[in-house]
Amino acid sequence: MSSNQDLQKRRDAALARGQTNLLPVFVEKAENAELWDVAGRRYIDFAGGIAVLNTGHVHPRVRAAVERQLGKFSHTCFMVTPYESGVALAEKLNAIVPISGPTRSMFVTTGAEAVENAVKIARSFTGRSGVIAFSGGFHGRTMMCMGLTGKVMPYKSSFGPMPGEIYHAPYPMAYQGVTEKQALGGIASLFKVDIDPQRVAAMIVEPVLGEGGYYVAPPAFLRGLRDICDKHGIVLIADEIQSGFARTGRMFAIEHAGVEPDLITMAKSLAGGFPLAAVTGRQEIMDAPEPGGLGGTYAASPLATEAALAVLDVIEEEGLTGRADAIGEILRDGLEALSGELECVGDIRGLGAMLACELVTDKSTREPDPELTAAVMREAAQRGLVLVTCGMYGNVIRIMVPLTASDAIVREGLDILVECLRDLSARRAVA
Ligand SMILES: Cc1ncc(COP(=O)(O)O)c(C=O)c1O
């Protein structure tokens, strides 16, 4: 069998530089919150395939559902000859989203496609073209999503021109000194300087910023967006692709604020590792596009829709919203204790088990420390913990451990992270 090093060499020679991998860890098998590489080394998985595995790697219920489906058929195209699981999943999503009144759903394959389609639907409904997104937001790598994303490197650099009629307002980031009042003021300023609100079709917001650094939008900010959208007839889209499916202690993060969006984009943990994404929203908006205007060849793959139905059962039956709170508490307690001890731990923030730790060179200046952050990620992998980073400056460690992980596994991973931070910051102090 090839080693991690051999596979990394082959990978570098075969794949485009732009599609990189964060760690030279080639996976052989995975189960719940653990994985094993080709050398047989065990890792605790705090990345969860970037928030895809809220129900863990290969949950037995998901596996059984997919295997059952594979015994029947793997593809027909839901837009040609559909099947019950696609209908049942739409019914289920319509029932669980925090939107009152009649709702409808549509399926695609990736998060970026869900965002693309939410914008198409909003444009079709309003007959307008402008879209407002936020600094630090991440919405995917397709053309429209790249335009909506509020971070240049590496997502936008060299890929221009950007699609038209996209405007960015500040996202509230208390640690960076951006208050919710300033963020809302940014939208007022857009309406003065850049676009008439009557030309804006949609506003898209992550209730908790994912790639942008795990900033939690204050409820008053989300209520403010709702008011602006109501006043001007703008469609409010909540991008719950990373924050959804119990991660924050509620099924959807926006529920914490008591705000109803018009449309919700979903992907990642929806189908436990199978490629599936959805848009669910108010019926009159969702039904604006003409028949055939939405969809795709692999949209609502039967393997993925069966997996998603099993995922939703697991979230409910295993009480994963409660587990998100409990896991979040363990992680927060451990990291907050460390924050008093280490100069490099600048901020700990998040909601439920969507938790992050921002690393700085100095607590008073809050100067980002992306080098230390990358070193912690590499060192943690050496010690058997898979971590990934995020943030505008690449100096935030984010945790997306499966919500099915036991307390013991969460504590074991946390201990590795804490020891890495202690050792690397001590080495830095000596150097
Ligand atoms: C909030 C958010 N929106 C959209 C996307 C894009 O999803 P995908 O990578 O499946 O296209 C992501 C992916 O990280 C995300 O976190």
Q: Are residues 83 and 222 located together in one domain of the fold?
A: yes
CATH of the domain at 348: 3.90.1150.10
Q: Are residues 112 and 147 located together in one domain of the fold?
A: yes
111 touches ligand 1 (CB under 6 Å) = yes
Token couple for 47: 């990345």
Domain boundary among 257, 282, 317: 317
Token couple for 205: 């917001």
The rounded Å distance from CA 97 to ligand 1 centre is: 19
Domain boundary among 302, 317, 332: 317
Tokens 């928030």 correspond to 51
Ligand 1, pocket-test mutation among 53, 138, 264, 279, most atoms within 8 A of CB: 138
Q: Are residues 341 and 204 located together in one domain of the fold?
A: no
The rounded Å distance from CA 278 to ligand 1 centre is: 12
Render pLDDT for 225-267 as a digit per residue (tens, 0 to 9): 999 999 999 999 999 999 999 999 999 999 999 999 999 999 9
Token couple for 73: 């058929």
Half-sphere exposure of 60 (CA within 13 A, CB side): 1
Q: Are residues 232 and 114 located together in one domain of the fold?
A: yes
CATH of the domain at 68: 3.40.640.10
Render pLDDT for 305-358 as a digit per residue (tens, 0 to 9): 999 999 999 999 999 999 999 999 999 999 999 998 999 999 999 999 999 999
Three-state secondary-structure class, residue 130: strand
242 touches ligand 1 (CB under 6 Å) = yes
Nearest alpha carbon to residue 90 among 342, 283, 343, 280: 280
Please report the DSSP string for 269-310 in residue order: GGGTTS--EEEEEEHHHHT-SPTTSS--TTTT-HHHHHHHHH
Could you give the number of structural domains in the chain?
Answer: 2
Q: Are residues 104 and 216 located together in one domain of the fold?
A: yes
CB of 419 closer than 8 Å to CB of 382? no
* C-beta atoms surrounding 364 within 10 Å: 8
* C-beta atoms surrounding 382 within 10 Å: 11
110 touches ligand 1 (CB under 6 Å) = yes
| Domain assignment of residue 197, given as a range | 63-317
284-304 burial: b if 16+ Cβ within 10 Å, else e:
ebbebbeeeebbbebbbbbbb
- For every one of its 431 residues, what pLDDT tens digit does the chain have, with 9 covering 90 and above? 799 999 999 999 999 999 999 999 999 999 999 999 999 999 999 999 999 999 999 999 999 999 999 999 999 999 999 999 999 999 999 999 999 999 999 999 999 999 999 999 999 999 999 999 999 999 999 999 999 999 999 999 999 999 999 999 999 999 999 999 999 999 999 999 999 999 999 999 999 999 999 999 999 999 999 999 999 999 999 999 999 999 999 999 999 999 999 999 999 999 999 999 999 999 999 999 999 999 999 999 999 999 999 999 999 999 999 999 999 999 999 999 999 899 999 999 999 999 999 999 999 999 999 999 999 999 999 999 999 999 999 999 999 999 999 999 999 999 999 999 999 988 877 77
239 touches ligand 1 (CB under 6 Å) = yes
Read off the amino acid at residue 234: I
List C-alpha distances in Å: 183 to 37, 171, 263, 393.
44, 6, 21, 19
Beta bridge pairs of residue 133? 168
Half-sphere exposure of 397 (CA within 13 A, CB side): 32
Q: Are residues 270 and 159 located together in one domain of the fold?
A: yes
Side-by-side strand order, sheet with 385-386: 27-31, 34-37, 42-45, 385-386
Identify the burial level of 314 via C-beta atoms within 10 angstroms of its C-beta, where 0-12 means exposed, 13-18 middle and 19 or more buried.
buried
Q: Are residues 330 and 203 located together in one domain of the fold?
A: no
The rounded Å distance from CA 122 to ligand 1 centre is: 19
User: Is 0.95 topped by the overall pTM?
Assistant: yes
Domain boundary among 271, 288, 317: 317
Token couple for 121: 């639907």
Residue nearest to atom 3 of ligand 1 (CA): 139
Q: Are residues 313 and 341 located together in one domain of the fold?
A: no
Ligand 1, pocket-test mutation among 146, 237, 242, 245, most atoms within 8 A of CB: 242
The rounded Å distance from CA 342 to ligand 1 centre is: 32
Q: Are residues 86 and 185 located together in one domain of the fold?
A: yes
Which atom of ligand 1 lies nearest, measured to the CA of 113?
Answer: 11
Q: Are residues 80 and 37 located together in one domain of the fold?
A: no
Q: Are residues 308 and 358 located together in one domain of the fold?
A: no
Q: Are residues 79 and 148 located together in one domain of the fold?
A: yes
Radius of gyration of the chain (CA): 21
The rounded Å distance from CA 141 to ligand 1 centre is: 8
